[in-house]
Amino acid sequence: MSASTRWPTAWPAGQPPRSTSGPPLRSRAEAPVLDVVMGLALVLAAVLAGFWATWSVVVLPALDSLPAPVAVAAMRRCNETVLTPLFLVPFATAPLTAAAGGVGLLLERAWLPALLVGFAVVLQVVGVVVVTGFVNVPLNGALAEAQGAPSEAWAAFSGPWQRANLVRTASGLAALVVLLVAARMS
């Protein structure tokens, strides 16, 4: 290289870096929708991770400390109360919003962040949605219909429900961390 040839030390003002294997990449300022989608995915993941953690750290330990008839009645009431849009909308849209963010990252050719978001979606779907549908909800239904002694109903419910909720909590927190890393990288 001659003395008069220099490598650029910065990109031209206002110009985003260019991909070497395709069309120019857009700057983040040109992709505000993706920023909003990823921000919403993070908020939803954080809300749900906190929700699951609260059940593990506060609610079920408190119910376990009560007499079984009171614990059963309280849990039945909680299960009736939770079925509102304030819970169901974040629960249903968290993985969908993250998936939309992942698609946006793929369109941006941000391969590694998109892969990480895909992993977070799998954590949310398998570790939260599937566990909820196949373990927690059936346990809630069995508790609601239990006719025997409340102590037996609570003993059959609490341990399995808490173990499944621990899976949801860990999956939700892991998904949140992975989404944070992906958002930071993108």
Question: Within a domain: residue 20?
Answer: no
Please say whether the beta carbons of 114 and 71 come within 8 A: no
Question: Which range marks the domain in which residue 52 is found?
Answer: 31-185
Question: Within a domain: residue 172?
Answer: yes
Question: Within a domain: residue 4?
Answer: no
Please say whether the beta carbons of 167 and 127 come within 8 A: yes
Nearest to 128 by CA among 68, 63, 47, 61: 47
How many CB atoms sit inside 10 A of residue 119's CB?
A: 18
**Exposed e or buried b per residue across 26-44, where buried means at least 16 C-beta atoms within 10 angstroms of its C-beta:** eeeeebeebeebbebbbeb
Question: Within a domain: residue 8?
Answer: no
pLDDT one digit per residue (tens) for the chain, 186 residues:
455 555 455 555 555 555 555 555 555 555 689 999 999 999 999 999 999 999 999 999 999 999 999 999 999 999 999 999 999 999 999 999 999 999 999 999 999 999 999 999 999 999 999 999 999 999 999 999 999 999 999 999 999 999 999 999 999 999 999 999 999 998
- pTM, whole model, 2 decimals? 0.82
Report the number of distinct structural domains present in the chain. 1
